[in-house]
Amino acid sequence: VAAGVAAPPDVAGGEDRLIAWLRRREARGREELIGDDATLGAPAADLAVSVDQQVEGVHFSTGLDPRLLGRRLVAVCLSDLAAVGADPLHAWLALSAPTGFDYRRLLDGVLEACRRHGLRLAGGDLARGAGVRAALTVAGRRPPRGRWLRRSAARAGDRLWLAGSLGESALGRILLERGARADARGVALPRSLERPAALAAAARRAVRRHLEPTPQLALGRWLARRRRAAAIDVSDGLALDLHRLCRESGTGAAVTDSALPTSAAHRRLCSRLGLDAERLALAGGEDYALLFALPPTLRVPAVYAARAIGEITARRRVELRRAAGGAEPLPAAGWDHLA
Amino acid sequence: VAAGVAAPPDVAGGEDRLIAWLRRREARGREELIGDDATLGAPAADLAVSVDQQVEGVHFSTGLDPRLLGRRLVAVCLSDLAAVGADPLHAWLALSAPTGFDYRRLLDGVLEACRRHGLRLAGGDLARGAGVRAALTVAGRRPPRGRWLRRSAARAGDRLWLAGSLGESALGRILLERGARADARGVALPRSLERPAALAAAARRAVRRHLEPTPQLALGRWLARRRRAAAIDVSDGLALDLHRLCRESGTGAAVTDSALPTSAAHRRLCSRLGLDAERLALAGGEDYALLFALPPTLRVPAVYAARAIGEITARRRVELRRAAGGAEPLPAAGWDHLA
């Protein structure tokens, strides 16, 4: 069971516990499949499969342009394939929606995103239902001479890297709640956010990032060709997903606050809206950034726009180091806990 | 897009038209993937993949035992694999449900059915959502020296066969609407249906058939090893799915009324409930029976409990022949049209 954005808290401790339960029940004596961002090595040795869903009222608000929803669904699923180093192959859609829903517009969005990322929509199922829900299953292939990226491959001394943005998606979600509007043409902001221009640009960018994250497929492919790399899709917030990476690897980690990728305009916008930019970056969720660990001798080519944000440590704790001095524990809090 | 049970009628003509639209947009110059009960040859040459969903209030009523729901979901999906002749391999679950829903009980049902059919739950995604919806993606493998079963392989002169029951599932759905109750232990009938015993047994059997159809996997495997066989999963009613088979094969067909597999007790029960047993058998839907066409020289081994119900004809019309004499057109009506 790959981590979903909205882990139901009523599963006696959340999705992580449910995964542990499934592992105990199903993994006995068999090759381990469950626990990475995608199933690895099934239904064939060089394939990876992942499923993700978008639920109205949970992952998006009623009235979202179905075309944007279709694009978001594909991007979110491909972020899982990127995190295991797989090249996109095929997708299957399960869609249920009320009478009157514009199915074709959603399919337009899905197909648009499929084309962009070299994915092919190969089948699906449509049904009626109160409220829109779309689930997408994606299959990808391990690149030639590549290795799967695993959560368990980090080692003490590794450098910790991040590609993508943190907290922008959460800010975008909040902006949509506070009156921003988006369709396939662009983002319209509420009056109060139209000035100054730099903050308005940051706001529009946050909404776009929220609605259509960028799966780090090229970087995943590059990582899959390294001798050793650990990776995880940051879908539930950096803090929670870093804890997961460390748990699977049997390590700890330290992240440096000043290395977190937040722009000055983004921080100013957060401050104006009464939001804690650091908290959004650490636990805002739905970033779909790629968090990975590499031996310290390896450098990531600049084209992938990744930045070193910390290191993997032997001691099993996850901490936030202050550039100003000192360190504090970084709790395993995801976006659920902000609600 | 594989045929779903509940084709939304608002997609300008239903799911069949949507499939045609997708085919035009996506299939240009590429090997055909869309249109059978599963995607064939993707993500690898010997694999088939299908996705199906169960939506609360559409495919099942609120309050259905989550364990039964889990078992039904698996059975319905495997019926698609049976119809293309694939052996079950792996499954991925996308589940959304409200707070308080018993996730583990649903997973128990899914895992129980997986074990029974040699399927392995390999991953999934969980989310919150108003109302329970579960989508399952299943992957299967073409058996060694086997061929895919296609809807397009029927030829004039073939004998038409059916394995499974017709109309019982629809009757079971109606009985559940009229007060029958079911859980993992058994079926309880309303007082008025408890006598006579033969009708009560038929009623219980109908509810069980509705809640847990039997995927015809062994028969599908046998058919896949014949030189030529066409097949389709009867999910939307015999009439509609026979029309689909004929359209893909460029043929017509004739079904003989007296050959339809309905028991005397079932017919008596229908009559007592004011239901038209023939109409339920032809268009009741959710039968998950296997309809297939074979050259007339081939006999199906008795172990598969299939019966010859008619023949494939050259003239492109689908008709119902009366054993008492005469014939009438069999319209392409599915269970939607009964509502």
Q: CA-CA distance, A223 to A87, in Å (whole number)?
A: 12
Q: CA-CA distance, B188 to B194, in Å (whole number)?
A: 9
Whole-Å CA distances, A219 to A3, A82, A299: 21, 8, 12
Residue A147 Cα, gap to closest chain B Cα (Å): 19
Look-up of token digits 């997961």: A244
CB atoms < 10 A from the CB of A208, how many? 18
Q: Which amino acid is located at B16 in the chain? A: D
Residue numbers in A near B55 (CB within 8 A)? 96, 127-129
The confidence score (pLDDT) of residue B31 equals 43
Query: Greatest CA separation found in chain B?
Result: 61
Q: Indicate yes or no: CB of B127 within 8 angstroms of CB of A92.
A: no
Cis peptide before A9 (omega within 30 of 0): no
- The DSSP call for residue B34 is B
Q: Of B282, B302, B315, B310, whose CA–CA distance to B158 is shortest?
A: B310
Indicate the length of chain A as a whole number: 339
Burial of A279 (0-12, 13-18, 19+ CB in 10 A): middle
CB atoms < 10 A from the CB of B294, how many? 25
Q: Indicate yes or no: CB of A90 within 8 angstroms of CB of B130.
A: no
**Minimum-distance CB partner of B2 among A89, A100, A125:** A125
Residues B67/A155, Cβ–Cβ less than 8 Å: no
Q: Is A133 at the interface with chain B, CB within 8 A?
A: yes
Helix ranges, chain B (H): 15-26, 66-84, 103-117, 168-177, 197-211, 217-224, 238-249, 264-272, 277-283
The confidence score (pLDDT) of residue A333 equals 78
Give ∠ CA A327-A328-A334 in degrees, rounded to 5.
135
Q: CA-CA distance, B85 to B229, in Å (whole number)?
A: 10
Q: Indicate yes or no: CB of B126 within 8 angstroms of CB of A18.
A: yes
Residue numbers in B near A49 (CB within 8 A)? 90, 92, 122-123, 137, 139
The confidence score (pLDDT) of residue A29 equals 41
Residue A105 Cα, gap to closest chain B Cα (Å): 11
Give ∠ CA A110-A112-A113 in degrees, rounded to 5.
65
Q: Of A92, A93, A81, whose CA–CA distance to A36 is shortest?
A: A81
Element (H, E) at B289: strand B289-294
B3: nearest CA in chain A? A125
Q: Is B203 at the interface with chain A, CB within 8 A?
A: no
Q: Indicate yes or no: CB of A52 within 8 angstroms of CB of B15.
A: no
The confidence score (pLDDT) of residue A23 equals 67
Residue A80 Cα, gap to closest chain B Cα (Å): 12
Residues A14/B133, Cβ–Cβ less than 8 Å: no
Q: CA-CA distance, B322 to B339, in Å (whole number)?
A: 26
Q: Indicate yes or no: CB of B92 within 8 angstroms of CB of A26.
A: no
Residues B202/B266, Cβ–Cβ less than 8 Å: yes
The helix/strand/coil state of B139 is strand
Q: Indicate yes or no: CB of B43 within 8 angstroms of CB of A93.
A: no
Q: Indicate yes or no: CB of A1 within 8 angstroms of CB of B96.
A: no
Q: Indicate yes or no: CB of A137 within 8 angstroms of CB of B51.
A: yes
Task: Give A247-308 as a DSSP string.
Answer: HHHT-EEEEEGGGS---HHHHHHHHHTT--HHHHHHH-----EEEEEE-TT----GGG-EEE
The helix/strand/coil state of A133 is strand
Q: Indicate yes or no: CB of A111 within 8 angstroms of CB of B25.
A: yes
Q: What is the residue-level pLDDT of chain B in tens, covering all 339 positions?
A: 333 323 443 443 456 666 667 666 665 444 445 568 899 999 999 999 999 999 999 999 999 999 999 999 999 999 999 999 999 999 999 999 999 999 999 999 999 999 999 999 998 898 899 999 999 999 999 999 999 999 999 999 999 999 999 999 999 999 999 999 999 889 999 999 999 999 999 999 999 999 999 999 999 999 999 999 999 999 999 999 999 999 999 999 999 999 999 999 999 999 999 999 999 999 999 999 999 999 999 999 999 999 999 999 999 999 999 999 999 999 987 654 333
Q: Indicate yes or no: CB of A8 within 8 angstroms of CB of B126.
A: yes
The confidence score (pLDDT) of residue A18 equals 67
Q: CA-CA distance, A121 to A333, in Å (whole number)?
A: 35
Sign of CA dihedral A120, A126, A131, A135: negative
Cross-strand partners of A329:
A319
Taking one residue from A and the other from B, the number of pairs with CB-CB distance under 8 angstroms is 225
The helix/strand/coil state of A120 is strand
Q: Of A270, A294, A292, whose CA–CA distance to A280 is shortest?
A: A270
**Minimum-distance CB partner of A47 among B44, B51, B128:** B44
Burial of B145 (0-12, 13-18, 19+ CB in 10 A): exposed
Residue numbers in A near B121 (CB within 8 A)? 22, 26
The confidence score (pLDDT) of residue A7 equals 41
Q: CA-CA distance, A35 to B157, in Å (whole number)?
A: 52
Residues A79/A288, Cβ–Cβ less than 8 Å: yes
Q: CA-CA distance, A179 to A338, in Å (whole number)?
A: 20
The helix/strand/coil state of B135 is strand
A77: nearest CA in chain B? B125
Element (H, E) at B90: strand B87-97
Backbone angles phi, psi at A271, to 5 degrees: -60, -40
Element (H, E) at B26: helix B15-26
Q: CA-CA distance, B215 to B75, in Å (whole number)?
A: 6
Q: Indicate yes or no: CB of B58 within 8 angstroms of CB of A96.
A: yes
Q: What is the residue-level pLDDT of chain A in tens, covering all 339 positions?
A: 333 323 443 443 456 666 667 666 665 444 445 568 899 999 999 999 999 999 999 999 999 999 999 999 999 999 999 999 999 999 999 999 999 999 989 999 999 999 999 999 998 898 899 999 999 999 999 999 999 999 999 999 999 999 999 999 999 999 999 999 999 889 999 999 999 999 999 999 999 999 999 999 999 999 999 999 999 999 999 999 999 999 999 999 999 999 999 999 999 999 999 999 999 999 999 999 999 999 999 999 999 999 999 999 999 999 999 999 999 999 997 654 333
Residue A43 Cα, gap to closest chain B Cα (Å): 6
Secondary structure tally for chain A: helices H, strands E: 9, 14
Enter the pTM of the model.
0.92
Whole-Å CA distances, A18 to A136, A244, B53: 21, 14, 21
Q: Of B117, B15, B28, B33, whose CA–CA distance to B335 is shortest?
A: B15
Residue A232 Cα, gap to closest chain B Cα (Å): 16
Q: CA-CA distance, A4 to A13, in Å (whole number)?
A: 14
Secondary structure tally for chain B: helices H, strands E: 9, 14
Q: CA-CA distance, B6 to B247, in Å (whole number)?
A: 20
CB atoms < 10 A from the CB of A259, how many? 15
Q: CA-CA distance, B75 to B117, in Å (whole number)?
A: 9
- Give contacts of B 11-40 with A, CB under 8 A: 11, 15, 18, 21-22, 25-26, 33-34, 38-39
Residues A30/B90, Cβ–Cβ less than 8 Å: no
Burial of A70 (0-12, 13-18, 19+ CB in 10 A): buried
Element (H, E) at B268: helix B264-272
Question: Token digits for A60?
Answer: 């998006």
The confidence score (pLDDT) of residue B5 equals 29
Q: Is A139 at the interface with chain B, CB within 8 A?
A: yes
- Give contacts of B 73-92 with A, CB under 8 A: 89-90, 92
Cross-strand partners of B40:
B48
Q: Is A121 at the interface with chain B, CB within 8 A?
A: yes
Q: Is A235 at the interface with chain B, CB within 8 A?
A: no
Q: Indicate yes or no: CB of A123 within 8 angstroms of CB of B38.
A: yes
The helix/strand/coil state of B308 is strand
CA dihedral B331, B334, B336, B338 (to 10 degrees): 60
Residue numbers in A near B22 (CB within 8 A)? 107, 121
Q: Indicate yes or no: CB of B42 within 8 angstroms of CB of A5.
A: no
Backbone angles phi, psi at A21, to 5 degrees: -65, -45
- Give contacts of A 43-62 with B, CB under 8 A: 43-44, 47, 49-53, 55-59
What ipTM describes this predicted complex?
Answer: 0.91
